[in-house]
């Protein structure tokens, strides 16, 4: 390989293996982990691999070190909040009039961490990895990939801050943008902003109106005395 | 019974002389280039530990954008890295174009390159000025740099109506066409910029104080730089050949002849020199773009901007901004606004190795190292 006078490697651009090949390669190497392909209808090249959180760190190390893959650069790390999804099943033809459409719950909702990987050595990418939590409320833990790619350090902290995913194995998991005493996760889809950021003892004006919208006002019952 | 509490200052004077000092620099410190704070632990003047603190400018831009139409987000992107609204606009427009299957017109592609390279010129010269200000070259280089930057901002203003918040790109092209006399003005400014750069370098680059303050300071090793996701001039100063204008060749960059300058030592001086060399390459690109700018519509007449509802899917798209890789990750659920909108902020991610670069250096050097990374807090905190 020729080197110019600065001693730096020249730029190389190799096309990436297609996603199915990488998927089967991973499935062979990690036979007890699930690796699912999540298709992207807009751009097939940016379909993603949903990987098993239990084996995520090992898979990440494999992707980083295996010749031909060498994803040494983790560009973008972000979270996505997916709410519970319901679908209405179509009413079968010939059913009795007045049949109510059946509502079916597809999933209870989950939080996702999405990693976009590139290779600086080979000049290819992106490979999109997805990790899913079990649900949105009680089990929101994922393994941290910061020990593999340092670039995830601040970005995972940001996800922890704004989405509430706890990354196990992160060296310094604190809130990044919001203040430490803050309780909620602002990027979640069901987040409602507090009525009053700076608590004041006698709320008035716009704050009072907003607070009243959230508080349940007891319905007044009038008793008729005979 | 002692009258002094056990942990009092007087009770342990001998330990206090150990001289481990914690200094909180910022958020209102002129050297932090905005509302940014570093908590440095010092032994004498040597840095033992340094933790950056963010969030003073946080307005949850991503949440705001998720409640806004695709077109309505465009002016918000100006406020990310407010020195480079042109490249922010381009990166976002490119992402939405890929998401909605639109293509920019030929003339618009050239105009985008011209505006992006002009933006790079004024960003880099600004950085050089600030960096020299941080080293103690008070006033003169910064004012020289600002004088030249202002000429480019005048160009932006005459084109878009605003010096910094340009809001110029649209999906499928640009908002307005560039007039013929604007190009003539721009050519003169770029030609003068070349002369100015020679003058600036003669004044600064070989200066004894600049050399001793920057050479060998804040070294960033290429392996760490790649692993920590450092991009842009900071990465290339460490000798890694990775410029998206060559790697992805987005837009029409494959048509231009330019080189990627690379550093050797990865120190502050290399990071300064990379910017100067990149400016010279940008001028080369601008000359070629001015010469080959084609006629035609500036925006695709069939382009859909208002009420855009892309199909279900997601996209990650990135370009080489002056500060590094600025990318946009969009998820569409078919609605009028993105389900998920995410910016990959180069300024934030380039700060990952700030502590590594500062360890063992003096506190005065931390200011220069931070200055050589080139951050804008509007993008760090979003």
Give yes or no: residues B28 and B129 share one domain: no
Question: Is B22 in the same domain as B100?
Answer: no
Same domain, residue pair B359 and B211: yes
Residue B16 above 50 pLDDT?
no
B30 lies in the same domain as B64 = no
Q: Which residues in B lie closer than 8 A to residue A72 (C-beta atoms)?
A: 226-227
3 state SS of B299: strand
Domain with A47 in it? 19-88+100-183
Q: Is A208 left (phi over 0), alpha (psi -120 to 50) or beta?
A: alpha
Q: What percent of chain A has pLDDT over 70?
A: 85
Give me the domain span that covers residue B184: 53-381
> Same domain, yes or no, for B29 and B123?
no
Q: Where are the beta strands (DSSP E) in A17-123?
A: 35-38, 48-51, 73-82, 85-88, 103-107, 110-119
Q: For Cα atoms B98, B103, B108, give the angle at the middle one, nearest 5 degrees.
A: 125
- The DSSP bridge partners found for residue A114 are A78, A130
Largest CA distance in chain A: 104
Dist. CA B191–CA A210, nearest whole Å: 58
Model confidence over B69-117: pLDDT tens digits?
999 999 999 999 899 999 999 999 999 999 998 999 999 999 999 999 9
Identify each DSSP E strand in B134-279 by its residue range: 169-170, 173-174
**Do residue B344 and residue A41 have CB atoms under 8 angstroms apart?**
no
Does any domain span residue B166? yes
Domain finish residue from B35, B52, B69 = B52
Lowest mean pLDDT segment, chosen from A3-17, B83-97, B195-209, B214-228:
A3-17
B350/A151 Cα distance (integer angstroms): 9
Q: CA–CA separation, B265 vs B274, rounded Å?
A: 12
CA distance from start to end of chain A: 102
**Maximum Cα interatomic distance, chain B, rounded to a whole number of Å:** 92
pLDDT in tens, B156-203: 999 988 989 999 999 999 998 888 899 999 999 999 999 999 988 888
Q: Does B56 touch chain A (CB under 8 A)?
A: no
Domain annotation covers residue A140:
yes
Q: How far apart are CA B119 and CA B317, in angstroms?
A: 20
Note whether A187 contacts B242, CB cutoff 8 Å. no
Residue B22 lies in a domain: yes
In a domain, B4, yes or no: no
pLDDT at B4 over 50: no
Q: Any idea what DSSP says for residue B79?
A: T
Confidence of residue B134 (pLDDT cuts 50, 70, 90): confident
Q: Does A188 touch chain B (CB under 8 A)?
A: no
The whole-number average pLDDT for the span A153-182 is: 90
Q: State whether residue A29 sits within 8 Å of chain B by CB.
A: no
CATH number of the CATH domain containing A118: 3.30.460.80
In chain B, which among 297-356 make CB contacts under 8 A with chain A? Answer: 310-316, 318, 325, 327, 329, 331-332, 340, 342, 344, 348-349, 351-353
Q: How far apart are CA B155 and CA B282, in angstroms?
A: 16
Within its chain, how far is the Cα of A124 from the centroid?
A: 23
Q: What is the pTM of this model?
A: 0.86
- A10 falls within a domain: no
Beta pairing, strands A166-168 & A141-143: parallel
Answer yes or no: is A208 within a domain.
no
- How many domains does the structure of chain B reveal? 2
Which pLDDT score is estimated for A8? 55
Rounded CA gap, A10 and A19, in Å?
27
Say whether both B175 and B291 belong to one domain.
Answer: yes
Residues B44 and B64 in one domain: no
The enclosing domain of B251 has a CATH number of: 1.10.645.10
């Amino acid at each position: 390989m020729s080197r110019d006078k600065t001693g730096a490697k020249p730029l190389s651009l190799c096309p990436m293996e297609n996603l199915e090949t990488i998927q089967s390669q991973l499935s062979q190497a990690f036979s007890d982990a699930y690796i699912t392909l999540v298709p992207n209808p807009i751009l097939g090249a940016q379909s993603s691999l949903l990987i098993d959180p239990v084996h995520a760190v090992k898979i990440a190390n494999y992707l980083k070190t295996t010749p031909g893959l060498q994803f040494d650069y983790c560009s973008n790390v972000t979270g996505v909040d997916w709410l519970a999804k319901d679908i209405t099943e179509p009413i079968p033809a010939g059913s009795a009039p007045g049949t109510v459409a059946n509502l079916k719950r597809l999933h209870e909702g989950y939080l996702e961490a999405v990693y976009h990987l590139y290779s600086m050595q080979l000049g290819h990418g992106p490979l999109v990895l997805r990790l899913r939590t079990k649900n949105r409320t009680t089990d929101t833990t994922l393994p941290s990939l910061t020990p593999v790619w340092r670039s995830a350090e601040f970005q995972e902290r940001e996800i922890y801050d704004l989405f509430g995913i706890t990354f196990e194995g992160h060296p310094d998991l604190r809130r990044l943008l919001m203040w430490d005493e803050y309780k909620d996760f602002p990027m979640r889809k069901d987040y409602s902003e507090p009525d009053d950021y700076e608590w004041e003892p006698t709320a008035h004006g716009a704050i009072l109106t907003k607070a009243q919208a959230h508080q349940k006002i007891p319905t007044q019952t009038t008793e008729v005395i005979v | 019974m002692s009258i002094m509490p056990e942990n009092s200052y007087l009770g342990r004077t001998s330990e206090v002389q150990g001289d481990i000092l914690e200094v909180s620099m910022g958020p209102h410190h002129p050297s932090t280039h905005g509302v940014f704070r570093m908590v440095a632990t010092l032994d004498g003047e040597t840095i033992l530990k340094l933790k950056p603190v963010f969030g003073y400018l946080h307005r949850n831009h991503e949440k705001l954008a998720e409640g806004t139409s695709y077109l309505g987000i465009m002016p918000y992107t100006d406020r990310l890295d407010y020195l480079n609204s042109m490249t922010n606009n381009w990166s976002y427009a490119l992402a939405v174009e890929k998401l909605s299957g639109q293509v920019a017109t030929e003339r618009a592609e050239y105009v985008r390159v011209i505006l992006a390279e002009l933006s790079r010129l004024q960003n880099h010269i600004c950085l050089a000025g600030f960096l020299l200000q941080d080293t103690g070259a008070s006033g003169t280089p910064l004012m020289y740099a600002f004088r030249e930057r202002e000429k480019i901002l005048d160009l932006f203003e005459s084109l878009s109506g605003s010096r910094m918040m340009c809001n110029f790109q649209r999906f499928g092209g640009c908002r307005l066409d560039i007039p013929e006399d604007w190009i003539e003005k721009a050519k003169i400014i770029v030609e003068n910029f070349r002369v100015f750069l020679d003058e600036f370098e003669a004044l600064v680059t070989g200066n004894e104080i600049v050399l001793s303050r920057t050479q060998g300071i804040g070294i960033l090793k290429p392996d760490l730089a790649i692993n920590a996701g450092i991009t842009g001039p900071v990465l290339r100063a460490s000798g890694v050949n990775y410029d998206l204008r060559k790697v992805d060749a987005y837009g029409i960059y494959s048509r231009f002849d330019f080189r990627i300058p690379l550093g050797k030592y990865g120190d502050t001086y290399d990071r300064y020199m990379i910017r100067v060399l990149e400016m010279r390459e940008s001028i080369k690109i601008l000359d070629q773009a001015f010469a080959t700018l084609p006629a035609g519509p500036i925006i695709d007449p069939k382009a859909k901007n208002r009420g855009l509802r892309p199909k279900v899917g997601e996209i990650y798209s990135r370009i080489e901004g002056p500060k590094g890789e600025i990318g946009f990750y969009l998820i569409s659920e078919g609605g009028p606004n993105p389900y998920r909108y995410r910016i990959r902020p180069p300024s934030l991610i380039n700060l990952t190795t700030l502590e590594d670069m500062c360890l063992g250096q003096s506190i005065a050097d931390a200011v220069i190292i931070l200055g050589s990374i080139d951050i804008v807090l509007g993008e760090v905190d979003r």
